[in-house]
Amino acid sequence: MSGERDARPMLVLRDIHKFYGTNEVLKGISLEVNEGELVTFVGPSGCGKTTLLRLIGGFTDVSAGDIILDGKRVNDLPPNLRDTRICFQNYALFPHMTVAENVGYGLKINGWPKERIRARVSELLEMVELKAFGERMIDKLSGGQQQRVAFARALSLEPKVLLLDEPLSNLDANLRLVMREEIRKLQERLHITTVFVTHDQFEAMAISDRLVVMKDGLIEQVGTPIEIYERPANEFIAGFVGYVNFMDGTVSALDAAAHTASVDTPYGAFEVSLEQKDIAPGDEVLMVIRPESVTISLDCGIKRKNVVCGTLRSYMYAGSLAKCTVAIGDKKMIIDQYNPRDAQRFTHADKVEVEIPRSVHLLKKKKERPS
């Protein structure tokens, strides 16, 4: 039942273009966000995330394309007549009002009677765990509490789509973790369709149903956090979400029955499990090797499949993990060794063996045409 409900598109963007003067900052964005889904825009600074959010909220006009909200085209509606609410990075709270007045502001503007406002505000404050803070002035709140007020205010009129532009970026690291869990819990409980923007790729992965990776005003890939992290569509996406080691190679053979490919590289031959169907012997590929997927150990005596020898260049102990830099021939590889307390410790210039897992992702390289 909930599966059917989830599949209903609440927000549809159709071929959205946006020009500022002659500068085209959105170059054809199409996307469907389902009811109750939390979708996050990620991408480098200036790629158009905020612009897209502002277009959805009605704070900027589209140059071309359609914005469909719950089945209705809303291009020409002003922000207050769209069923969307935006929550900005700086919260944009009214400093001269109390918490309760801030939360109830939209209700008042919409002509709600006093008693109903009081009841709704009380319900909202309870929801964000600020029940005792109704009469407090905004500047007497911590950053996390202000964030909650902004969130309660955005939810006051039960918008169909909630737009959150870097809502956690003013908070310190620990509070960020707490608040992101709270936002996700509330969002799921209220089943509210949410579009989130963050600079923090790990926050994006942790909180989202799907990620939308953007670059230069275009969508590069849409997928679940697992798809984006484990099966990125190209080199840019692989490098954008988390650190990655790349290794060039050529596919020498395929074993269709075992779903594996053999890849020859300047550092040795590797056997890789194959998910893609478009890879053939002779193809040039890029192996996408995540630092935490590699195993590292001392010595390099025995020759085994998928094992190469290297020299430790640096070992940075950081509690839950040790970041190791290993030189393999002319290549530097970053390897995360988790739980170093119970693992082998390394020192500079140690000879180490590095095991590349079979589960690395392969990116097929585009054939370069001679110009």
Ligand X SMILES: Nc1ncnc2c1ncn2[C@@H]1O[C@H](COP(=O)(O)OP(=O)(O)OP(=O)(O)O)[C@@H](O)[C@H]1O
Residues that bind Mg ion (CB under 5 A): 50
Is 249 a binding residue for ligand X by CB under 6 A? The answer is: no
Is 340 a binding residue for ligand X by CB under 6 A? The answer is: no
47 Cβ neighbours under 8 A, 6+ residues apart:
214, 215, 216, 217
Picked from Mg ion, ligand X, none, the partner binding residue 46 (CB below 5 to 8 A depending on kind) is ligand X
CB of 46 to ligand X, least distance (A): 4
| Residue (29 or 161) nearer to ligand X, CB | 29
CB of 168 to ligand X, least distance (A): 14
- DSSP states of 3-53: HHHHTSEEEEEEEEEEEETTEEEEEEEEEEEETT-EEEEE-STTSSHHHHH
Q: Are strands 210-215 and 351-355 parallel, antiparallel or unpaired?
A: unpaired
Is 20 a binding residue for ligand X by CB under 6 A? The answer is: yes
CB of 44 to ligand X, least distance (A): 7
Strands, DSSP E only, in the chain?
A: 9-20, 23-34, 38-42, 64-69, 72-73, 84-87, 161-165, 193-197, 210-215, 218-223, 245-255, 260-265, 268-273, 284-289, 295-298, 307-317, 321-328, 331-338, 351-355, 361-364
Rounded alpha-carbon distances, angstroms, from residue 253 to 256, 261, 264, 364: 10, 6, 9, 15
Total interface residues for ligand X by CB under 6 A: 11
Picked from ligand X, Mg ion, none, the partner binding residue 45 (CB below 5 to 8 A depending on kind) is ligand X
Is 46 a binding residue for ligand X by CB under 6 A? The answer is: yes
Query: Which range of residues in 8-16, 38-46, 141-149, 350-358 is near ligand X by CB under 6 A?
Result: 38-46
Return the residue of 11, 13, 25, 289 that touches ligand X, per CB under 6 A. Answer: 25
Report the alpha-carbon distance of residue 371 to residue 367 in Å, rounded: 12
- What track of x and - describes contact with ligand X for positions 47 through 86 (by CB under 6 A)? xxxxx-----------------------------------
CB of 13 to Mg ion, least distance (A): 17
| Residue (50 or 147) nearer to ligand X, CB | 50
CB of 49 to ligand X, least distance (A): 4
Report the alpha-carbon distance of residue 216 to residue 47 in Å, rounded: 5
Binding site for ligand X (CB under 6 A): 20, 25, 43, 45-51, 199
